[in-house]
Amino acid sequence: MLAQINQFINGQQVIGEGDVHPVFNPALGDVVSEVMFSSSKQVEQAIIGAKDAFIEWSQVTPMRRARVLFKFKDLLEQHIDELAAMVTKEHGKILDDARGEILRAIELVEFHCAIPSHLRGTYSENVGSQMDSYTIRQSLGVCAGVSPFNFPVMISTWQFIPAIACGNTFILKPSEKDPSVTIRLAELLTEAGLPNGVLNVVHGDKCVVDQLLHHPDIQTITAVGSTPVAKYIYETGITQGKRAHCFGGAKNHAVILPDADIDQTADAILGAAYGAAGERCMAIPVAVCVGDKTADALVSQLKKRVPELRVGPGDEEGIEMGPLVTAEHLAHVKSYIEIGVNEGAELVVDGRDLKISGHEKGFFMGGCLFDHVQPDMRIYQEEIFGPVLCILRIKDFDSAVELVNKHIYGNGTAIFTHDGDAARTFVNRIQAGMVGVNVPIPVPVAYHPFGGWKQSVFGDIGMHGGQSVQFYTKLKSVTTRWPKAVRTGAEFKMPNLK
């Protein structure tokens, strides 16, 4: 009997009334559970419940909302091993990586425990004769989020924690590939004291997303996924009058200058390219080497080390890279290796035929390494989202910056150098939302915003940090005057500001 993954609506688990979708353990290649999709009626019930809950939750003091978050943070810390095991079982990433994801979620919760301070407005006295002005931030209503498979804990919390901290209620639609952990998060939040209906979890496909997008009671929509999906959700959401920010694809570059420490750079690139089997929007799938000597040195290191990556089930000790999330995605990534070979790139390391003893049905492949990749090749232009690293050789620093800036994606990038002037110039000139200097995956901490540029993002407000408070609240300006008892008559001009 397969385990059944339900909805979480109005504070309790509810059996889905829609289609049934298999959930795999990618290390085994076997179906381990089934997620029951929500019916249209159940999505409507979740929205109604969230709308009703908003009436009281929006009036709960920010300090009381913070106390719920404090308790939730404590529960996350107590259950980190349980949650990490759930992520590894359905996603495939190694346990240490899963724990790291949850720690990032805890940091986000910690930041929003200070929500009373984040919601403070401004006050100006005597803006006019006997007049004062101030601003306040107020909650919006029912918000919704569509979260991806690659970070089922971290990105889900990035979406719903700021929303509920600001006094909103939330409908989460997680990925059907690894949905179990989001239900557990909802349970823990309820245990922490979150009232019923404030957070709801529904499962489904595009039909559920479309229902959220077109429902008049949904005030905001946030999503993370491929660029076509993100663009669709963003454009549909804003045409329906919703506030939206949606995060799409990426092709992050690491630029390596001749003065970089090649040993340290190889370490950084190895982890950034092949960690989590490359299924990260902030992974490094492209290394841009300035000069052939730099490229030769890096390739010499990587062609020895990539085949030595310890690939296997994520719950086994010492494993460095787990499987890809599904058989379909594995086939998709492998197809790009053939494309690269046909395009004329040099396949230095081919990990397609890797087999793991005892896990022959698992969705495994080894790391792949291409050298002499050209900018017009599809393996460079398109997001592969797998353990594939492309080496491009560029003549000088300016050409490297120009190459990065021409790409349609601008999520993140990094530079490896000991030259402070070059690094500063790179940071100023590069067209990407997140930049690392000798840091391969520059994901900002919880109190700085996350967000890319160009086709990597739709909407002009970042995720988490102070910008989340901006996204999940509306600003109201108030001007007051308490006149004396003596009447002065009607006024037909602008208030006197002298």
Q: Distance between CA atoms of 202 and 150, rounded to whole angstroms?
A: 18
Active site includes 281? yes
Give residue 139's identity as a one-letter amino acid code.
Answer: S
DSSP string, 267-332: HHHHHHHHGGGG--TT---EEEEESHHHHHHHHHHHHHHGGG--BS-TTSTT--B---S-HHHHHH
The active-site residue, picked from 113, 166, 281, 390, is: 281
Q: Which residue has the tokens 């939302």?
A: 433
Which DSSP string corresponds to 107-123?
HHHHHHTTHHHHT---E
DSSP-derived 3-state class of residue 371: strand
Instruction: Determine the residue type at 4.
Output: Q
| CA-closest candidate to residue 444, choices 154, 69, 182 | 154
Burial of 285 (0-12, 13-18, 19+ CB in 10 A): buried
Assign residue 141 a region (left: φ > 0; alpha: ψ between -120 and 50; beta: otherwise).
Answer: left
User: Which of the 8 DSSP states describes residue 446?
Assistant: T
- 412-416 and 253-256 strand pairing: parallel
| Positions marked active-site | 281
